[in-house]
Amino acid sequence: MCGRYAVSYDPDDLRDAFDVDEIADDLPGPSWNVAPTEQVPVVMERLVQVRPVRKLRPLHWGLVPSWAKDPSIGSRMINARVETIATKPAFRKALGVRRCLLPADGYYEWYDTGQTDAKGKPVKQPYFIHPADGPLAMAGLYEYWKSPTEQWYLSCTVITTEATDALGRIHDRMPMIIDAAVRDRWLDPTLTDTDEAVELLQVVEPGRLLTHPVSTEVGSVRNNGPHLVDPISL
């Protein structure tokens, strides 16, 4: 799964990296410990008077389906398994018409060391997984939900897949990374064939992502700052 990640790039850098046309004024600031339900920068493409416009907007991380009673369900829908996005009611429609990218510096996963602490709880070591350079582009879906007071709530989810061999030793799941060669097609609002959309999702090669252990401070949402991604010695 992807339960925490870091995104600290300047909006102008993300504009250049993802060919964005419009940047929202209310984007969240940099964070090295993004937690579920927080607002995150998302790249999406919408048709405006028949012309596709690529936008960088803030969305809540944790998808809230249009049929949900309230936004609380979003905390349980931060990830969408690629194996079921075409069949699950919460994701099926969004796969055809509301695909997006979630830029990131990298993401965190916790490795089960097989040991226990003094209270008998499993000891897990966090690792930071990231590209050698440039932002990571995590595949996502987004949705609109209207509250009883007619307020719109925009939310998103990260698509996950089985981890590659190199990363599987840390955790069995990983975010689906969208290669630069297919990003335009993935964001294309005129692509409504869900089978074709799924075919664009290919597991990234193991050698393209780097990993190193980081401080257990990242386990608390109260902690934030660039030091969280610094390598530590075990």
- What are the catalytic residues? 2, 109
Strands annotated E in 16-172: 22-23, 31-34, 39-48, 51-61, 79-81, 99-104, 106-116, 122-131, 136-146, 152-162
Number of other residues whose CB lies within 10 A of the CB of residue 92? 14
Alpha carbons 123 and 227: distance in angstroms, whole number:
21
Q: Which DSSP state fits 5? A: E
Burial of 113: CB neighbours in 10 Å, binned 0-12, 13-18, 19+? exposed
| Count of all residues that appear for the chain in the document | 234
Q: What angle do CA 114, 218, 106 make, to 5 degrees?
A: 95
Residue 155, φ and ψ in degrees, nearest 5: -140, 165
For residue 78, the number of C-alpha atoms closer than 13 Å in the C-beta half-sphere is: 18
Pairing verdict, β 173-175 and 51-61: unpaired
Amino acid at 47: L
Alpha carbons 73 and 63: distance in angstroms, whole number:
8
Q: Hey, which residues does 130 pair with through a beta bridge?
A: 210
